Structure 1
């Protein structure tokens, strides 16, 4: 990709991130609410959201192997996106548990295959300017906010039943945006000679993958039940959507200042700080959700629990995995964190929410993050 750089590809990359995360702004806050409208129980909702994340354990690794073998990341991004759009039609057609289960499994398999390869393409394109990644990635957060606010308004004034139609519409636009990005063979880089398994065995690499798994595991209750939790406490849908948006605005701030943060502080320090603030966040949401003030503060901490941690982790992953291991490195990171961690987190959240509500669910989340902090303190470099 000789002709790709921050200056030449900024607009195209930013647009795709904006649209990709608009899909997440449709599914993450509102899929649980939509499933609840179909009269599924908390355990069933946890299972359905869990399968969406579990496919991320397998799918990115298959797509990463195919992309690294061909050297053409964008081709596989386009294919995954159009197949995800086709699969999402099932949400419009079906309402029974197993039909929705299979639909979400197929949709999420292809959808989760897309982003790691686009991340790989973006970081390869940036090259020595990878500290500018945050200035591109922040447009994804803006897309998330736009979708959260728009869909929240739509649900408030019309119906949550429109969510599957919104999802299909945005997916088709994402697919179209992928054709604005130039495809091309990835140039071999230094580091290609190192075996993938050999890299995984390094303590600092294994530790960041385990820490990412635990941090994402702790987000299960938040992603699956935060909207439901606030709805049951009397918050209206517009207020809930604005709280989601506030969290992502805080995340945008981290991405905007990412290059300055990385120049001033060690990545290890930033990761430890983000994990410590995540512990505080889950304690607040688990026990003080009836206070609007504390919810505002907790959502500002999304800057740490997602933004700062993700920026630090993906920086390290890009450093550890080079050349023809690059796509597989992004894939194993996605699989271990948002994939396995997200799947088990949502599945576990369904059972803990049923057994003990928010206090038990977020209490367990707090324990998971505390364990992550200890591992990161010992092994993260």
Structure 2
């Protein structure tokens, strides 16, 4: 079978996956609405989808015990991803829309961590510069969200589905290729690591960690599910909406690129506090402004609300015992980025019809108790 350099393969994998994500995350709600689904149903299925990502991360990832099983699971999930989206070319009744949206969330949940796991192996094998490889994924997110915004203007909202199918097909075909060099089994998820996953819940510091980063990241749920819909309602064009998404991710990329210079002397608490304050300001402005330029300015806060919080979480995880790092990462991905975001998204869906843009103000208010959690949290 054809082989390609492992670092190049990983770059292409992140490019293809995050192109899908750059289309799915901001535009799937609009596609569902175009097919007749209500905003309450969209919020419900987005929140259930997040819950399913939590379940898949905690049930499918522990099945990975070797390099080959990592690639095997990636290939299976990639095939299912392209297959379920392709089904919507033929079936788009309510049951199909709901079922495939949920299945897609379940199978796509472990795809980013699987890429991270492969990257971790390659760091040890070939001294891979993982940060530079991962940046291509963020750039691809921008390309996906921006290009589909233009395609919607020209081809209509069906361009959303076609773009996802095309990128998913490329991702699956890529997964069938061999890596050069092949992955070695020098990083394994052993039984001790798997067993420690649930015992961590007994530690107050872990619970506070999940509440703090989960609340900040979870507050993005309203934006991910209804940001595009709301901006469309207040009269912004598809192109303008695409640029707003691109601005946020570009700010994230810049911060990731220079994070060592910016935050090397910051404590973990200071970083999450910055993310919290930025989130409260960002969502408050989004709730009252319909000016593109004002929204563009505060959309750059994505670098603070998401990226800084994420960097703080990764730094906290890196301070833990090596035997527990995989468990911490699983909890962060599953609980903070999955379960808690599902809760915030579900609440957004319940009240969006009545509140519209003010749902972002609710997100700001829900973040207020996190100040107290940060105050009592012990990071070391």
- TM-score higher than 0.5: yes
Number of the residue aligned with 2:225: 224
Deviation per CA, 1:123-180, whole angstroms, max 9, x where unpaired?
A: 3543699996443322211010000111110001111012222111101212233345
Given candidates 22, 46, 50, the residue that maps to 2:47 is 50
Deviation per CA, 1:13-57, whole angstroms, max 9, x where unpaired?
A: 333222211111111111111111112211111122223222112
User: Counterparts of 2:300 and 2:356 in 1: how far apart (Å)?
Assistant: 23
Given candidates 148, 156, 160, the residue that maps to 2:157 is 160
Q: Does 1:368 align with 2:369?
A: no
User: Counterparts of 1:357 and 1:130 in 2: how far apart (Å)?
Assistant: 48
User: Counterparts of 1:271 and 1:278 in 2: how far apart (Å)?
Assistant: 10
Deviation, 1:76, is 2.1
Aligned ranges 1:7-22 → 2 under 5 Å:
10-22=7-19
116 and 187 in structure 1: CA distance in 2 versus 1, 3 angstrom threshold: closer
316 and 299 in structure 1: CA distance in 2 versus 1, 3 angstrom threshold: same
3-state SS in 2 of match to 1:185: coil
Deviation, 1:84, is 1.7
Number of the residue aligned with 2:62: 65
Q: Does 1:89 align with 2:94?
A: no
Deviation, 1:292, is 1.9
CA contact (8 A) 1:215 1:368 kept: no
Number of the residue aligned with 2:20: 23
CA contact (8 A) 1:153 1:238 kept: yes
User: Counterparts of 1:83 and 1:244 in 2: how far apart (Å)?
Assistant: 27
Aligned ranges 1:113-128 → 2 under 5 Å:
113-126=110-123
User: Counterparts of 1:190 and 1:39 in 2: how far apart (Å)?
Assistant: 47
Number of the residue aligned with 1:322: 322
Number of the residue aligned with 2:77: 80
201 and 123 in structure 1: CA distance in 2 versus 1, 3 angstrom threshold: farther
User: Counterparts of 2:70 and 2:326 in 1: how far apart (Å)?
Assistant: 8
275 and 9 in structure 1: CA distance in 2 versus 1, 3 angstrom threshold: farther
Deviation, 1:229, is 1.2
143 and 120 in structure 1: CA distance in 2 versus 1, 3 angstrom threshold: same
321 and 183 in structure 1: CA distance in 2 versus 1, 3 angstrom threshold: farther
Deviation, 1:276, is 1.3
129 and 336 in structure 1: CA distance in 2 versus 1, 3 angstrom threshold: farther
268 and 40 in structure 1: CA distance in 2 versus 1, 3 angstrom threshold: same
User: Counterparts of 2:68 and 2:260 in 1: how far apart (Å)?
Assistant: 28
Normalised TM-score (structure 2) = 0.88
User: Counterparts of 2:264 and 2:127 in 1: how far apart (Å)?
Assistant: 12
Number of the residue aligned with 1:245: 246
3-state SS in 2 of match to 1:370: coil
CA contact (8 A) 1:120 1:326 kept: no
3-state SS in 1 of match to 2:367: helix
> What's the Cα RMSD here?
2.8
* Farther off after superposition, 226-235 or 195-204: 195-204
User: Counterparts of 1:319 and 1:89 in 2: how far apart (Å)?
Assistant: 43
122 and 70 in structure 1: CA distance in 2 versus 1, 3 angstrom threshold: closer
User: Counterparts of 2:257 and 2:97 in 1: how far apart (Å)?
Assistant: 38
Deviation, 1:295, is 0.2
Q: Does 1:38 align with 2:39?
A: no
Number of the residue aligned with 2:95: 98
Number of the residue aligned with 1:292: 292
CA contact (8 A) 1:318 1:329 kept: no
Q: Does 1:145 align with 2:146?
A: no
Number of the residue aligned with 1:5: none
